[in-house]
């Protein structure tokens, strides 16, 4: 196996799913967000862990992600949160995938696909409550719902929206979005028939901070992976981080005071220095913004990353860990000894969000799965 890799704790995924269920209560269900390769954690094993822990539905961003779950033998309902496109629309009927519809053109594509395949398609209507991206607007919601109702090939399985600022200190925007969603619902519901569709709007931030948004489903994303999506740490419930990023020391080098390291000579040794080179870089999704701006755990101690993050390598000052040697474990995200480097710290240093840090982690990194049997997830 490659010397740089990810450890994925599936017990933590199961724990976080059950912890979320405790928060939302028995009357609300979870649609686990496993898009973008389950935020870099591995869509198939994470999906299975969520389902084992009681989540009845999965959400992805594009149809191809849903097909990958089907091809892995996952039969649970899968909702594609993004819009259908002409090139992939037949996949919805072929693989029993739930589509998101925001306009009549989306519905027309699904009708055509359903007729070609001779099978109906389920869909969720997305409402633009103030995000300004996908979703039907208030003045078009009735027309869309009426059109869908007239198509025997289509079944409205749900209605949903998405918050833009549920992690913000000021929840006024989110409260306005919730009010808008509630105002549009009767217009749509008037056309959907006797079978009440499932309603959902709560993402991770709203699950934790806005109990009145939990409706029939919630959509845990960041919290499913034990990540704080951006609200005050004091508000973060007890969730378990599910990911660790590790590498083995590829070589130990000794350099003189004043010697440069890496591209652009962006760092020079202020003393005689011992360096560990790790075979991981921005091609693996480790941000170049962490150049001269991160710590790595070696021998249970924080050691500074020095020089630029290269495509395939980084250098770490291990002068204060004299026993370090080739093959030793280095931890870029995760725990070692009594120290821990979190995704939140890494995101802060890189000037981005936790989702960006984990979602960019490349398929070049092997995923080592912990807790596959589920024996330690209580």
Strands 314-317 and 329-336: unpaired
Greatest alpha-carbon pair distance for the chain in Å reads 78
Alpha helices in 29-171 (DSSP H): 35-39, 43-52, 63-71, 90-94, 104-117, 138-149
The answer for residues whose C-beta is within 8 angstroms of residue 236's C-beta and 6 or more apart is 208, 228
Nearest to 90 by CA among 127, 56, 115: 115
Q: Which residues pair with 302 in a beta bridge?
A: 297
Q: How far apart are CA 140 and CA 75, in angstroms?
A: 34
Contact residues for 20 (Cβ-Cβ < 8 A; gap 6+) = 30, 207, 218, 220, 223, 224
Known catalytic residues are 35, 263
Secondary structure (3-state) at 78 = strand
What residues contact 369, with CB distance under 8 A and at least 6 apart?
8, 10, 42, 45
Bridge-based pairing of strands 78-80 and 57-60 is parallel
Tokens of 129: 């409550």
Q: Which two tokens stand for residue 19?
A: 């912890």
Q: Using CA atoms, how far apart are residues 131 and 47, in angstroms rounded to an integer?
A: 27
The DSSP secondary-structure symbol of 272 reads S
Q: How far is CA 71 from CA 16, 66, 152, 322, in A?
A: 26, 9, 28, 49
How far does the chain reach from its first CA to its final CA, in angstroms? 30
Closest Cα partner for 269 from 309, 331, 314, 318? 318
């Amino acid at each position: 196996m490659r010397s740089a890799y990810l450890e994925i704790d599936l017990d933590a995924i199961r724990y976080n799913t059950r912890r979320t269920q405790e928060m939302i209560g028995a009357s609300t269900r979870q649609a686990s967000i496993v898009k973008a390769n389950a935020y870099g954690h591995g869509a198939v094993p994470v999906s299975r862990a969520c389902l084992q822990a009681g989540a009845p539905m999965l959400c992805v961003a594009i149809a191809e992600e849903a097909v990958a779950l089907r091809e892995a033998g996952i039969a649970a309902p899968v909702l594609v949160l993004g819009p259908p496109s002409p090139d992939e629309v037949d996949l919805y009927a072929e693989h029993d995938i739930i589509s998101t519809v925001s306009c009549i053109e989306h519905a027309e594509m699904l009708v055509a696909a359903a007729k070609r395949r001779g099978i109906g398609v389920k869909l969720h209507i997305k409402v633009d409550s103030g995000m300004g991206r996908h979703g039907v607007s208030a003045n078009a919601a009735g027309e869309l719902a009426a059109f869908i109702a007239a198509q025997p090939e289509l079944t409205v399985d749900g209605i949903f929206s998405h918050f833009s600022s549920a992690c913000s200190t000021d929840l006024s925007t989110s409260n306005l979005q919730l009010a808008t969603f509630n105002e549009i619902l009767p217009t749509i519901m008037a056309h959907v028939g006797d079978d009440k569709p499932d309603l959902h709007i709560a993402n991770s931030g709203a699950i934790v901070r806005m109990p009145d948004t939990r409706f029939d489903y919630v959509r845990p994303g960041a919290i499913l992976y034990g990540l704080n999506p951006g609200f005050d740490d004091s508000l973060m419930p007890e969730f378990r981080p599910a990911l660790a990023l590790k590498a083995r020391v590829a070589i130990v080098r000794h350099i003189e005071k004043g010697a440069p390291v890496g591209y652009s000579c962006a760092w020079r040794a202020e003393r005689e220095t011992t360096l560990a080179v790790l075979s991981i870089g921005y091609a693996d999704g480790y941000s170049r913004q962490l150049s001269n701006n991160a710590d790595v755990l070696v021998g249970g101690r924080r050691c500074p990353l020095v020089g630029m993050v290269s495509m395939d390598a980084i250098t770490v000052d291990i002068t204060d860990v004299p026993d370090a040697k080739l093959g030793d474990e280095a931890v870029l995200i995760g725990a070692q000894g009594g120290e821990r480097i979190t995704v939140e710290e890494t995101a802060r240093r890189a000037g981005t969000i936790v989702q960006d840090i984990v979602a960019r982690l490349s398929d070049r990194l092997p995923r080592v799965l912990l807790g596959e049997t589920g024996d330690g997830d209580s």
